[in-house]
Amino acid sequence: MRLERRAHVPLSLVVAAPVGAVLAALVLAGILIAIAGAPVLEAYQRMFIGAFGSKLSITETLTRTTPLILTGLAAAVAFRARLWNIGAEGQFYVGALATAALGSKYGLHLPPIAGIPLLMLAGAAAGAVLLLIPLALRLRFGVDEVVTTLLLNFVALLFVSMMIEGPLKDPLAFGWPQSVPILADAALPKLVPRSRLHIGLLIAIGLAIVLWLVQARTRFGLESRAAGLNPQAARFAGVSITGILVRVACLSGGLAGLAGAIEVLGVKAYVTIDLSPGFGYTGIVVAMLAGLHPLGVILAAVFVATMFVGADGMSRAMGVPSFIADVIVSLSLLTMLVALFLASYRVRR
């Protein structure tokens, strides 16, 4: 028996792979739910109700989806060009910090129509810069970016902690380390009144569509894919790998920084050290589940947000630790890798 790579993966398999992977992960996590002493099907039902059972839970799930779309796109864009950006978490935080600083009373004081886009741009720029550093180390000194982007997450988080306990500390926060809030003018408009859901969701979905068009239709999209698949051939064809990677890094780091900016402008209004429950790392799973496809990222982000929001409700009702959501999401990544393998190979006897 041996494996043979398929020349062309049929569309049915491309669609079946993520569905099969998620189902397999749910079955495996079901074993853990059973061990925890809860009826599995009822637990999953509770999870679904927790995420979609009421207007409030739906808006919460979509609020959680927003940053995941953006960090998912950040990972997808980079991974397609084989730029291993594992630093989206740090980029998220510096983006959030830049936005909070410039949007606060110390900052720009612009009318919303100009101020809000500018603040988002500032967050994206901060995220991009944080990824350009490890990219420069790779291009100039040949340092593998996997570990450097990862290590910079810790540095970025400590820097944010230093700022919100120092120059940007909110003196009115009862001694809690949190940044000064953004001005009311800078807050993103709500999508649904009396909920936390804001127009950031539409921005994220819009960006996913734009990215899909860019990747499918433009020269840059083609070249960044070629740079990832076969750098030698791309270089031979006259593509500047360095130029492509710099642009990919600006895009990837920018999207992660924007995720932080939008979380501040839309949800929290200030930065704390627990602003992100791992959005940067979860974005990697989102991107893989989506098969690195920008439109798939939207669906994958909804799935992951459903798990996290739903797990809280399930945890309260069934007594299963809410960490089960993290288990399901990380297991989905592993089963997705296997599913992608099975889809792209054919077993020959």
Partner 1 sequence: MMDALDIFASAGLWAAVLRIATPLLFGTLGALICERAGVLNLGIEGIMTFGAMIGWMTVYQGGDLWLGILAAALGGAAFGLLHALLTVPLGLSQHVTGLGITLFASSLTYFIFRLSVPVSGSPPTIVPFQVLHIPGLSDLPFLGEALFNQTAPTYLAIALAIILAFALQRTPLGLAVRIVGENPHAAEAQGIDPIRVRIAAVVFGSALMGVGGAFLTLSAFNSFFPTMIQGRGWVCIALVVFASWRPERALLGALLFALFDAYQLRLQHVVGKAVPYQLFLMIPYLLSIAALLVMARRARVPQALMQPFRRGER
Residues 124, 267, 119: CA angle, nearest 5 degrees:
30
The answer to whether residue 31 forms part of the interface with partner 1 (CB under 8 A) is: no
Question: Do residues 332 and 289 touch, judged by C-beta distance below 8 A?
Answer: yes
280: DSSP letter: H
The answer to whether residue 166 forms part of the interface with partner 1 (CB under 8 A) is: yes
The answer to whether residue 39 forms part of the interface with partner 1 (CB under 8 A) is: no
Question: Do residues 155 and 90 touch, judged by C-beta distance below 8 A?
Answer: yes
The answer to whether residue 170 forms part of the interface with partner 1 (CB under 8 A) is: no
Instruction: With contacts defined by CB under 8 A, name the span among 43-51, 204-212, 227-235, 330-338 that binds partner 1.
Output: 330-338
Q: How far is the CB of 13 from partner 1 (least distance, A)?
A: 17
Question: Do residues 126 and 101 touch, judged by C-beta distance below 8 A?
Answer: no
Q: How far is the CB of 307 from partner 1 (least distance, A)?
A: 11
Q: How far is the CB of 90 from partner 1 (least distance, A)?
A: 10
Q: Look up tokens 């098969």; give the residue.
A: 291
Q: Look up tokens 């296997």; give the residue.
A: 338
The answer to whether residue 27 forms part of the interface with partner 1 (CB under 8 A) is: no
- Total chain residues near partner 1 (CB under 8 A): 42
Phi, psi for residue 208 in degrees, rounded to 5:
-60, -45
Q: How far is the CB of 224 from partner 1 (least distance, A)?
A: 18
Q: Say how many C-beta atoms besides its own lie within 10 A of residue 337's C-beta.
A: 13
Phi, psi for residue 96 in degrees, rounded to 5:
-60, -40
Beta bridge partners of 179: 169
Interface pick for partner 1 out of 8, 12, 141, 193 (rule CB under 8 A): 141
Q: Which two tokens stand for residue 123?
A: 């967050």
Instruction: With contacts defined by CB under 8 A, name the span among 78-86, 123-131, 216-224, 247-255 that binds partner 1.
Output: 78-86
How far is 89 from 97, CA to CA, in rounded Å? Answer: 13
Residue 14 or 36: which CB sits closer to partner 1? 36
The answer to whether residue 83 forms part of the interface with partner 1 (CB under 8 A) is: no
Q: Say how many C-beta atoms besides its own lie within 10 A of residue 227's C-beta.
A: 24
Site string for partner 1, 208-247 (x = CB under 8 A): ----------------------------------------
171: DSSP letter: T
3-state DSSP assignment of residue 177: coil
Residue 111 or 171: which CB sits closer to partner 1? 171
Interface pick for partner 1 out of 182, 248, 286, 329 (rule CB under 8 A): 329
Residue 33 or 51: which CB sits closer to partner 1? 33
291 CB-near residues (< 8 Å, 6+ apart) = 14, 17, 18, 340
Q: How far is the CB of 130 from partner 1 (least distance, A)?
A: 13
How far is 140 from 342, CA to CA, in rounded Å? Answer: 38
The answer to whether residue 130 forms part of the interface with partner 1 (CB under 8 A) is: no
Beta bridge partners of 3: 347
The answer to whether residue 314 forms part of the interface with partner 1 (CB under 8 A) is: no
Instruction: With contacts defined by CB under 8 A, name the span among 31-39, 121-129, 185-193, 242-250 that binds partner 1.
Output: 31-39
Beta bridge partners of 346: 4
The answer to whether residue 281 forms part of the interface with partner 1 (CB under 8 A) is: yes
Residue 14 or 143: which CB sits closer to partner 1? 143
Measured in whole angstroms, the distance separating CA 275 from the mean position of its chain's CA atoms is 14
Q: Which two tokens stand for residue 9?
A: 């993966």
Residues binding partner 1 (CB under 8 A): 32, 35-36, 79, 84, 86, 137, 141-144, 146-148, 150-152, 154-155, 158-159, 161-162, 165-166, 281, 284-285, 288, 321, 323-324, 326-327, 329-331, 333-334, 337-338, 341
